[in-house]
């Protein structure tokens, strides 16, 4: 025993494989691919980001802030639905339907009908 109360370790612990880095890479790949499906101007209009910022996300040079992500989800329901499917909130194949329902509901709300 050492003077500070710590004992020497004779057996090293088993290191786990770091899967969180893989998950982060997969999320970055998904985001850049999804952002690339839209024109730069569409993303700029929906989020208020600069064109250069959008290009950097497409090239995986930077990430998107939470606020910009939320803005994009609010303005592009099909993007939000695809994200929900990607993270497991919707079953595969339900994203298109959820996006279409959201578009229809938003259009109905804008008309102001009871």
Q: Is the pLDDT of residue 20 over 80?
A: no
Cα 14 to Cα 62: distance, rounded to the nearest angstrom: 33
Domain boundaries, the chain: 21-65, 76-114
pLDDT of residue 17: 67
Q: Is the pLDDT of residue 6 over 70?
A: no
pLDDT of residue 13: 58
| Cβ neighbours for 19, distance < 8 A, ≥ 6 positions apart | none
pLDDT of residue 34: 95
Contact 15, 21 (CB under 8 A): no
Residues 28-56 pLDDT 10s: 899 999 999 999 999 999 999 999 999 99
Specify the pTM: 0.66
Which whole number is the average pLDDT over 6-19? 61
Contact 43, 49 (CB under 8 A): yes
């Amino acid at each position: 025993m050492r003077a500070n109360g710590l004992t020497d370790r004779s057996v090293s612990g088993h290191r786990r494989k770091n899967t969180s880095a893989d998950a982060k890479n997969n999320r970055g790949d998904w985001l850049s691919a999804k952002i690339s499906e839209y024109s730069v101007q569409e993303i700029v209009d929906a989020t208020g980001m600069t064109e250069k910022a959008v290009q950097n996300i497409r090239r995986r040079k930077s990430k998107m802030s939470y606020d910009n992500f939320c803005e994009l989800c609010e303005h592009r329901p099909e993007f939000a639905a695809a994200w929900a499917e990607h993270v497991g909130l919707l079953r595969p194949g339900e994203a298109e339907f959820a996006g279409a329902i959201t578009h229809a509901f938003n259009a109905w709300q804008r008309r102001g009908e009871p």
